[in-house]
């Protein structure tokens, strides 16, 4: 199936000013600050201090992030960066609302499975601002 242009909600290292933004969203159209319409668990976890949101609506906090309009090529690049297709990595459509005013919409968001969140470094977060993330090009395996 060929992907078409989509809205993507990002809440972690793909946001402006974070390590993966330029590699993932440099040419995407920024649409503004948004937050999830319902609560989700977001925390920092794993050996690389990655932000991870779990597809468990009703748990955690309303998560703040950025909304982008992306083309098919950008969506495919984001899927590779987010390890879509590997166990515990997936994306789903969720409802988001603007931080200030305006209508809600559906956007794709990237989720992780809880088994990837070892060790856990924070409690649930409303907004990801942590700077400990180790990008792939700086990891020593």
pLDDT, residue 3, reads 53
Instruction: Please state the domain count of the chain.
Output: 1
Options 56, 66, 76, 82, the catalytic residue: 82
E strand segments, the chain:
6-10, 29-36, 42-45, 50-53, 64-70, 89-98, 105-112
pLDDT, residue 4, reads 61
pTM for this entry: 0.94
Sequence-separated (6 or more) residues with CB below 8 Å from residue 73? none
Domain for residue 86, yes or no?
yes
Domain for residue 110, yes or no?
yes
Q: Give the alpha-carbon dihedral of 104, 25, 6, 84, to 10 degrees.
A: -110
Residues in the chain, how many? 141
pLDDT, residue 102, reads 87
66 carries an active-site annotation = no
Q: Which CATH number is 68's domain given?
A: 3.10.490.10
Domain for residue 140, yes or no?
no
Sites in the chain below the pLDDT cut of 70? 1-4, 141
Domain for residue 63, yes or no?
yes
Domain for residue 108, yes or no?
yes
């Amino acid at each position: 199936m060929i992907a078409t242009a989509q809205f993507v909600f990002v809440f972690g290292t793909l946001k402006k000013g974070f390590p993966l933004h330029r590699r993932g969203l440099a040419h995407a159209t920024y649409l503004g600050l948004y937050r999830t319409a319902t609560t989700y668990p977001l925390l920092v976890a794993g050996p690389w201090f990655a932000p991870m949101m779990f597809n468990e609506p009703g748990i955690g906090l309303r998560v703040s992030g950025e909304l982008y309009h992306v083309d098919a090529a950008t969506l495919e690049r984001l899927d590779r960066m987010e390890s879509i297709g590997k166990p515990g990595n997936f994306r789903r459509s969720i409802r988001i609302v603007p931080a200030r005013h305006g209508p809600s919409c559906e956007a794709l968001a990237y989720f992780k499975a809880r088994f990837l969140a070892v060790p856990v470094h924070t409690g649930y977060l409303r907004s990801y601002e942590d700077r400990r993330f180790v990008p792939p090009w700086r990891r020593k395996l």
